Structure 1
Amino acid sequence: MGRFRHLARLLAASAFGAALAWTPCAVTAQGAPGVGGGGMSAPRSGPGAREDRRSFGGQIGGRMNLIGPPTTETGPTSGLPATELPSNSMFTPERLDRIAPSVIDGIKMPKLDPRGPLRAPRPADMPAAPAPAPMEAALPSPALTAPVVKQPLALTATFGENDAKVPGGVKWRVFTDQPDANGEHLLVAESNDAAPRFELDPGNYIVHAVYGLVSAAKFVTISPTTPSAQKLVLNAGGLRLSGFVGEHTPPDRDISFTLSRDEGGVMHAVAEKVKPGVLLRLPAGSYHVVSNYGDANATVEVDLQVAAGKLTNAQVHHKAAPVTLRLVDRPGGPELGDTSWTILTPGGDVIRDSIGALPKIVLAEGDYTAIARHDGRMFQRNFAVKTGVEEAVEVEAR
């Protein structure tokens, strides 16, 4: 009996010593980073419990092992190696896509693809959406696929209503009949031929013809099946002007013409500074022509008629001559510089007033007075101009 009591005392002492040996390890585990709650966790029991052979007293609470690197052991719980401390996963740059799919606190984690962004998983019970049926391309109507056949448009121009064809000099342009957003019609084709031929798409157009200062326009429609021919009437005539002085022709640079026309009682200039020999294509009608020889008073005015489809040649004869003025101290002497001039008619009309030397001047036939001003003094002389006789007039300073 005493032997059994002694054996019981030895077993109790061993149990007490084992309890003291576990206590320091439990405190160390509680003080480690990430340990949840105070005190030791109760040992697991029941089905599925396993023996922990490591020198730790109790279990570590919290979720540190859930967001840290996964352990190699399997099962509901895994112990930490005695030689390692748990890593502080809250400050470790771990990617979420490195966590193995699992159930955390009853929440099913999605399967994360490390190669792409996070995507919500498709529920297994959700039926897949049927693939859209391939759309059949609508077959174009035969009218749209049929090629557009261009049709020819032949154009001619005539003088007036006498059907005399314009031999040339017409500028043809074809525009769209509808303007764009800027109010302008799109240019489709153009030609300088006397009788052009255009290949155009069926539709409506505006044909515009310009012959010198004459123009005409007409709306035309191009049929999709038949060619078209159109005639435009240009009520125009031609005029060519030339100038003479006596029986001689002066240099073209010295003569010019200005044409004007009466429009509703008001004279409007039609052409200015026209040189001799230039062909003018004008609307038929009456014109007033002013011919200037030089830039003084040698002018000739005439009224003439331009007929449709006819060329009118008009010659203007001037009665004038160029004159050169010189101030000298003696006849035939050198010209005195820094001289101003004034040319007067016998009636006192000023023809020319210059500051400084006066170059050659063209004056109409007649009598004149030349006044020279030099060095605060005035000198004058009367002289006459005869048609076609160029003369040098000397004024003596005395």
Structure 2
Amino acid sequence: MHEDTPFTAARRLRALLAATILVFCGGAAFAQSGDVPKAPAPGTSGFTATERGPSLPFVGTQPVTLSAQLTAESPELSRGLIWRIFKPEAGDDGKLPLVMAEQGGTRTFDLAPGSYLVHAAFGRAGATKRISVGDEPRTENFVLDAGGLKLNATLAGGSRLAPAKVRFDILEADEGSDGERAMIAPQVRPNSVVRLNAGVYHVVSYYGQVNAVIRSDIRIDPGKLTVATMEHKAAQLSMKLVRAAGGEAIADTAWSVLTESGDVVRESVGPFAAMVLAEGDYTVIANNRDRIYQRSFTVKSGQDEDIELITSRDLADIGADGTEKAPVE
């Protein structure tokens, strides 16, 4: 068996700490916007952190005051922090035992002499230190080197999109050995402020639930709020099968939407097929009572459209060029 070098031992410890913090967060990433996750106390699934008033230290303990800043030049953070203090040796379950946890700003903990790992989390930004407690009070400051990211999306031309139809994923910029990027913050809402360590992140913007997807690498600077707006080229489409132009939609219709190359991008069943599609050429196929109707159409950014497929034999299929075709039997 090979002995760990100081480097590999430190790396192993960091990995163990990261895994332990994920367990205490319920396997989820830290909260975004102004929300602060509540860390659980040892042996429980959760805890409600409270502001601690002045109290006498326990016998044999020393006060350790912890504070954090976004940058070395910025003021101390007064709220939004999660402090977690761990023993540095893994327990029988393979996790680092949690000694104390609180939320807020600067905090003072009464700790027995010994070695500890202290993790400061501010949203999804964080920093870890190993500290040693002796026979005197001590103070530790954390410089998080963190900033914020606020995301929005528009259509080409600047039209703002409905927030309910837009979501963002924030991932690491670099791909792993498997070719995938690690997820940092999934399903982020527009206008939410996500706290992140400084660096470059890969952001994916989704408009609707089909193929209106765009990507961008965005840099976060320490101590600053980065506001980024991503531009989609897409439109909202609503499709229905009718017996005559302007008629009622026919129920129990199976829908398939295909790209110009024939790839299926969406399938559904119902009187209507409503979706957001990226710019491009498509074909919609409606299947009702073993009869098939189809129509080709072009999506242009920002031009929402209602598309009708008409069951009359001479109007069943209207192509993008206006040519009328019979339904496919």
In structure 2, how many angstroms separate the alpha carbons of the residues matched to 1:298 and 1:360? 14
SS of equivalent residue, structure 2 residue 104: coil
Aligned residue among 278, 283, 287 for 1:369: 283
In structure 2, how many angstroms separate the alpha carbons of the residues matched to 1:350 and 1:229? 61
Larger helix share, 1 or 2: 1
In structure 1, how many angstroms separate the alpha carbons of the residues matched to 2:285 and 2:187? 31
In structure 2, how many angstroms separate the alpha carbons of the residues matched to 1:153 and 1:257? 39
Aligned pair 1:172/2:83, yes or no? yes
CA shift, 1:180, in A, is 4.7
Aligned pair 1:344/2:258, yes or no? yes
1:319/1:180 CA distance change after superposition, 3 Å: closer
Aligned pair 1:198/2:109, yes or no? yes
Larger strand share, 1 or 2: 2
Aligned pair 1:315/2:225, yes or no? no
Aligned pair 1:386/2:296, yes or no? no
In structure 2, how many angstroms separate the alpha carbons of the residues matched to 1:182 and 1:371? 56
Aligned residue among 231, 238, 254 for 2:165: 254
Q: TM-score, normalised by structure 2?
A: 0.67
**Residues 238 and 281 of structure 1 are in contact (CA less than 8 Å); yes or no, is this contact kept in structure 2?**
yes
1:392/1:159 CA distance change after superposition, 3 Å: same
Q: Which amino acid aligns with 2:143?
A: V
In structure 1, how many angstroms separate the alpha carbons of the residues matched to 2:84 and 2:94? 17
In structure 1, how many angstroms separate the alpha carbons of the residues matched to 2:249 and 2:93? 64
Shifted more, 337-346 versus 170-179: the winner is 170-179
In structure 2, how many angstroms separate the alpha carbons of the residues matched to 1:178 and 1:191? 21
- State the partner residue of 1:232: 142
Q: Which amino acid aligns with 1:238?
A: G
1:389/1:192 CA distance change after superposition, 3 Å: same
Percent of matched pairs sharing the same residue = 39
- State the partner residue of 1:216: 127
Shifted more, 245-254 versus 289-298: the winner is 245-254
Deviations 1:175-216 (A, max 9, x none): 345555545544333222222122334443332212223332
Q: CA RMSD in A?
A: 2.5
1:359/1:170 CA distance change after superposition, 3 Å: same
- State the partner residue of 1:270: 184
**Residues 341 and 357 of structure 1 are in contact (CA less than 8 Å); yes or no, is this contact kept in structure 2?**
no
Q: Which amino acid aligns with 1:297?
A: N
1:191/1:163 CA distance change after superposition, 3 Å: farther
SS of equivalent residue, structure 1 residue 253: helix
SS of equivalent residue, structure 1 residue 243: strand
In structure 2, how many angstroms separate the alpha carbons of the residues matched to 1:190 and 1:268? 27
Deviations 1:241-272 (A, max 9, x none): 11223433333221111222215564222222
1:178/1:363 CA distance change after superposition, 3 Å: closer
Q: Which amino acid aligns with 1:269?
A: M
Task: Please tell me whether Structure 1 or Structure 2 has the larger radius of gyration of its CA atoms.
Answer: 1
- State the partner residue of 1:188: 99
**Residues 62 and 137 of structure 2 are in contact (CA less than 8 Å); yes or no, is this contact kept in structure 1?**
yes
In structure 2, how many angstroms separate the alpha carbons of the residues matched to 1:344 and 1:372? 12
- State the partner residue of 1:157: 68
Q: TM-score, normalised by structure 1?
A: 0.57
In structure 1, how many angstroms separate the alpha carbons of the residues matched to 2:120 and 2:100? 12
Give unpaired runs (5+ residues) of structure 1. 1-146
Aligned residue among 219, 223, 226 for 1:305: 219
Shifted more, 179-188 versus 273-282: the winner is 179-188
In structure 2, how many angstroms separate the alpha carbons of the residues matched to 1:260 and 1:181? 33
Deviations 1:84-112 (A, max 9, x none): xxxxxxxxxxxxxxxxxxxxxxxxxxxxx
In structure 2, how many angstroms separate the alpha carbons of the residues matched to 1:348 and 1:342? 11
Deviations 1:40-92 (A, max 9, x none): xxxxxxxxxxxxxxxxxxxxxxxxxxxxxxxxxxxxxxxxxxxxxxxxxxxxx
**Residues 249 and 272 of structure 2 are in contact (CA less than 8 Å); yes or no, is this contact kept in structure 1?**
no
Q: Which amino acid aligns with 1:209?
A: A
Q: Which amino acid aligns with 1:175?
A: F
1:178/1:323 CA distance change after superposition, 3 Å: closer
In structure 2, how many angstroms separate the alpha carbons of the residues matched to 1:206 and 1:182? 18
- State the partner residue of 1:328: 242
CA shift, 1:295, in A, is 0.9
- State the partner residue of 1:243: 153
In structure 2, how many angstroms separate the alpha carbons of the residues matched to 1:326 and 1:315? 33
**Residues 175 and 189 of structure 1 are in contact (CA less than 8 Å); yes or no, is this contact kept in structure 2?**
yes
